[in-house]
Amino acid sequence: MLDPPLEELGEHLLKTMVLLVQGFPNQISALRFEWAWQHPSRSRRLSSRVTPKTSKEKSLNFHVRVVAEMLLAPPWDPPIHMPIVYGPVRSIKIASKANDSPEQEILICSICFSDIDITDESVKCISHKCSAASHMTCLANHFLVKDPERLLPVNGSCPVCDLDILPIKMNQHEEYQYLNLISNIIKNGNNKGDRTGTGTKSIFGAQMRFSLRNNDQQMQMSLRKKKVRIWDGNSSREFLDSMGFTNREEGDLGPVYGFQWRHYGAEYNNMHTDYQGKGVDQLSHVIKTIKENPNDRRILMCAWNPKDIPLMALPPCHCLAQFYVANGELSCQLYQRSADMGLGVPFNIASYSLLTIMLAHVTNLKPGEFIHTLGDAHVYNNHIDALEEQLKREPRPFPTMKLKRNVECIESFTFDDFELIGYNPHPKIVMKMAV
């Protein structure tokens, strides 16, 4: 962010200029970007793209041109969904404009209280209960009031509802999408009852996006053998009995996710029955369609089967996945009807990201994005203290997943095929699962 004084600055007069380039995974990447911006002729990524500054070209125009070129060049080119936002550059002497446009609804900046023009870059509060809006430049300066020594704001709160927004951090590390959502739910969520009797703070409708581009290229029993016990709470003898499945063997969840993915529509007996060739194999159909018709808009996998729901220990929370192929990349969007922000959502993000990486590998594509769309996004009341502790922690760099061998068939993957690189978690925070 540049905030020069109100006197003449060489060849141009500036009132305020704000340039925010967001999305860096760490500070080293941000510093590399800054160095390349300042020395485009010496950068191997830019030297062939950016022509030298001409004698008649203003310095400001040149540097803006360099940024524009940088955002079109790897590794800085942003995902399609990421907007490039910059504040208006205006001379102190602003010419008056004729108001010949039709009358429109006026949006007022919550900070400077002036109108927000339709052409202005503006931002709105992330809270669904707050109507605050402001100019991008006003919000940046608002955040800097509490820390005037900084050139860039590193955190801040909404000027109306006081919600912690963390705008720059949110974009520097993708985990801030998750942390900001938790903060919003705890502060502004609706108090609701739930199936478990625990009680929740809840909002309806949210979305997060995670890049998978830095990755190289019978389940319940297998998980237990590997000491992974995520399903134990919903497959225990006590839980099954409470749901009326008194004759079902402990550990038998019924026709849940894996059954619906591979045998949709088949008659369910128990977890030991051989269902080979029965029902619709949605996963195989997804792989076949990605390979043969990647532009198809019907590459879906659904776990929600109304006929089988009475037989399930727990109806599917993450119930619909859609896959999308573009530019040699495979992306996945998941719709999750019920999202336990403390315990469930982090695992769902990791598991569907891994699934996307695996599917990209067997279809000769690169992993693109994982988009997570949430219906009832909630924080259990007995998780609030633990999650408030998590909100105080600085996210560490995401690990990368490396596939150690070439796998051609989705069924051929084993635990030993995966290598998690750079996993450096904080100490665990204990939260009790609501069942």
Question: Residue 234: inside a domain, yes or no?
Answer: yes
Which of the listed residues 41, 70, 99 is the one where a domain comes to its end?
Answer: 70
Same domain, 57 and 196: no
- How many distinct structural domains can be found in the chain? 2
- Kindly report whether the peptide bond that precedes residue 75 is cis, defined as omega within 30 degrees of 0: yes
Residue 350 structural domain:
191-421
7-32 burial, b at 16+ Cβ within 10 Å, e below that, comes to eeeeeeebbbbbbbbbbbeeeeebeb
Confidence at 294, pLDDT banded by 50, 70, 90: very high
Higher pLDDT among residues 105 and 320, named by residue: 320
Among 95-99, 243-247, 290-294, the minimum mean pLDDT is found in 95-99
- If you average pLDDT over each of 110-119, 125-134, 390-399, which comes out highest? 390-399
**Is 201 inside a domain boundary?**
yes
Consecutive H or E run containing 210 = strand 200-211
pLDDT in tens, 46-87: 878 888 888 888 877 788 888 877 877 777 766 554 555 544
Q: Which residue in 125, 138, 158, 317 is the catalytic one?
A: 317
Least confident of 329-343, 362-376, 383-397: 383-397
Query: Has residue 305 been placed in a domain?
Result: yes
Higher pLDDT, 315 or 86: 315
> Of the ranges 3-17, 63-77, 80-94, 188-202, which is most confident?
188-202
pTM over 0.75: no
pLDDT for res 60: 77
- Residue 22 falls within a domain, yes or no? no
- Which of 51, 70, 89 represents a domain boundary (last residue)? 70
Q: Give the H or E element holding residue 319.
A: strand 318-326
Please give the mean pLDDT across all residues of the chain.
Answer: 79
- State yes or no: is 317 an active-site residue: yes
Mean pLDDT of 289-314: 93
- Say yes or no: 388 and 246 in one domain: yes
Note the helical H segments in 174-275: 175-188, 219-225, 232-235, 237-242, 257-263
pLDDT at 395: 85
Structural domain contains residue 57: yes
Q: Which residues are CB-neighbours of 235 under 8 A, at least 6 positions away?
A: 220, 250, 251, 252, 253, 313
pLDDT band at 398 (very low <50, low <70, confident <90, very high): confident
pLDDT > 80? residue 262: yes
Strands 329-340 and 366-380: parallel
Instruction: Answer yes or no: is 156 within a domain.
Output: no
Whether the CA torsion 117, 119, 125, 129 is positive or negative: it is positive
Would 7 be classed as within a structural domain? no
pLDDT on residue 19: 67
Q: Is residue 402, in this structure, part of any structural domain at all?
A: yes
* Boundary (domain end) residue, out of 35, 70, 105: 70
> Is residue 139 pLDDT above 70, yes or no?
yes
Q: Is 299 in contact with 286 (CB distance < 8 Å)?
A: yes
CATH code, domain with 286: 3.30.572.10
